[in-house]
Amino acid sequence: SWTNSRNAELKERAAKVIPGGMYGHESTALLPADFPQFFRRADGTRLWDADDNEYIDYMCAYGPNLLGYRHAAVDAAARAQMELGDTLTGPSEIMVTLAEVLVGMLGHAEWAMFCKNGTDATSMATVVARAHTGKRKILVGRGVYHGAAPWCSPGPAGILSDDRAHIAYYRDQDPQSLADAMKEHAGDVAAVFATPFRHETFRDQAQPDATFAREARRLCDAEGAMLVLDEVRTSFRLSRDHAWAALGVAPDLSSCGKVIGNGQPISALVGGEHLRKAAGSVFVTGSFWFSAVPMAAAIATLKIVRESDYLERITRTGTLLREGLARQAADHGFALRQTGPVQMPQILFEDDPEMRLGYFWTAAAVRRGIYLHPYHNMFINAALSEADVAATLEATDGAFAALKAQDLKHLPLERPAVRERLERAAALSA
């Protein structure tokens, strides 16, 4: 049966030696109290927390798990490279192979540069775009997450308005708002950042929008600005190419992250021929950017992306989950808003202005061995089987029944800070 005493003990120890007990969005401070903060191990689609409770995991490490945790072929490639060496005096020869692989897969890419985190890649995109254009402004969708560096961090603490002196904002995925921002900064726009679709926390997700994508491309071309597609969250979950390939819109630069090494730390910035010189002119590096083990894992991961039916399978299991949950919610008298691509589901409740239903339901699912998130989009990995989806639905049925048994008018608001996050999300939607 489900317990969390070890987790509580670890949180107490952590509070003494880790600021806030934990930081960033992997902190459980805003999640229901029963969500585990610390984990012990993982395998396939399953995850075990510090108390050894087992979960079918729908967060996939906030994205990086694409093929299943501890994927045999990927881990064998990583282990084989580990035998040769990892962080060396310079890159391993496989860096060239990996760059060839990405350039071969991504239609708009003629070169690739590797780094560790998504923030490295998005920050590098700003530098390359400015070096190429000689212009200053970076246009970013308001409230859109591009990482935790001062130019883009969502948190105000320790950040100066000067850090964002040349960041300007438009209404995310809104062509008119982008056109207005372009006009306001005409002559000085280095880059426009976009994500393939709206995937912010506490809000409904969207599907990729061809009208916005085409208009962003047109406006960038008219202004001589670089279009940066931030695919850190979406890489290879929507497509084996970049996510706007299906819309016929090519970005100038794109940031790839999270999944490239199926969990090994590696991210990338890729771009077109016209940006090769600028990309070669900027000074960017890091002690661990050239480590060979993640590159070996990436070559193995991308081979599976090219050669297997992983994308069709995550689409199918994602669809089964969405349909099953919709039926189940209706049977219990609830309505869900399930939005975004099925491989990256966001699940919110209708008529749940303070997310009390969503918090109770996801906490009940966690206690039943299903790790669902109340306000962040989730991720489907290729190790998730149809039987896992069936097991998930059995548990969520229990979670809906538990919710229905509550006095719904008086569900607790476990995290009052959620109110402020919801207000911010509503302001973005207005």
Q: What is the smallest separation between the CB atom of 198 and ligand PMP, expressed in angstroms?
A: 11
Q: What is the smallest separation between the CB atom of 260 and ligand PMP, expressed in angstroms?
A: 11
Out of 36, 118, 196, 341, name the contact with ligand PMP by CB under 6 A. Answer: 118
Piece in contact with ligand PMP (CB under 6 A), picked from 39-47, 226-234, 320-328, 397-405:
226-234
Q: What is the smallest separation between the CB atom of 176 and ligand PMP, expressed in angstroms?
A: 23
Nearer to ligand PMP, 209 or 388 (CB): 209
Nearer to ligand PMP, 157 or 405 (CB): 157
Q: What is the smallest separation between the CB atom of 149 and ligand PMP, expressed in angstroms?
A: 8
Q: What is the smallest separation between the CB atom of 425 and ligand PMP, expressed in angstroms?
A: 16
- Going by C-alpha positions, the residue among 122, 117, 137 that lies closest to residue 26 is 117
Q: What is the smallest separation between the CB atom of 226 and ligand PMP, expressed in angstroms?
A: 16
Q: What is the smallest separation between the CB atom of 147 and ligand PMP, expressed in angstroms?
A: 4
Quick check: 251 binds ligand PMP (CB under 6 A)?
no
Quick check: 119 binds ligand PMP (CB under 6 A)?
yes
Q: What is the smallest separation between the CB atom of 121 and ligand PMP, expressed in angstroms?
A: 8
Nearer to ligand PMP, 233 or 237 (CB): 233
Quick check: 195 binds ligand PMP (CB under 6 A)?
yes
The footprint of ligand PMP on this chain (CB under 6 A) covers a number of residues equal to: 12
Which position's Cβ is nearest ligand PMP? 118
Residue in the block written with tokens 């706007």: 244
* Beta-bridge mates of residue 269: 113, 255
Quick check: 122 binds ligand PMP (CB under 6 A)?
yes
> Contacts with ligand PMP in 390-419 (CB under 6 A)?
none
Quick check: 233 binds ligand PMP (CB under 6 A)?
yes
**CA–CA separation, 318 and 341 (whole Å):** 8
Q: What is the smallest separation between the CB atom of 252 and ligand PMP, expressed in angstroms?
A: 17
> What count of Cα atoms within 13 Å lies in the side-chain half-sphere of residue 365?
24
Nearer to ligand PMP, 192 or 389 (CB): 192
Out of 46, 130, 135, 146, name the contact with ligand PMP by CB under 6 A. Answer: 146
Quick check: 232 binds ligand PMP (CB under 6 A)?
yes
Quick check: 235 binds ligand PMP (CB under 6 A)?
no
Out of 230, 352, 388, 414, name the contact with ligand PMP by CB under 6 A. Answer: 230
Quick check: 237 binds ligand PMP (CB under 6 A)?
no
Quick check: 145 binds ligand PMP (CB under 6 A)?
yes
Contact 191, 141 (CB under 8 A): no
Q: What is the smallest separation between the CB atom of 314 and ligand PMP, expressed in angstroms?
A: 18
- x/- site string to ligand PMP, residues 78 to 117, per CB under 6 A? ---------------------------------------x
**CA–CA separation, 114 and 368 (whole Å):** 40
Quick check: 4 binds ligand PMP (CB under 6 A)?
no
Structure-token pair, residue 9 = 């003990």
**CA–CA separation, 404 and 398 (whole Å):** 10
Contact 45, 384 (CB under 8 A): yes
Residues that bind ligand PMP (CB under 6 A): 117-119, 122, 145-147, 195, 230, 232-233, 257
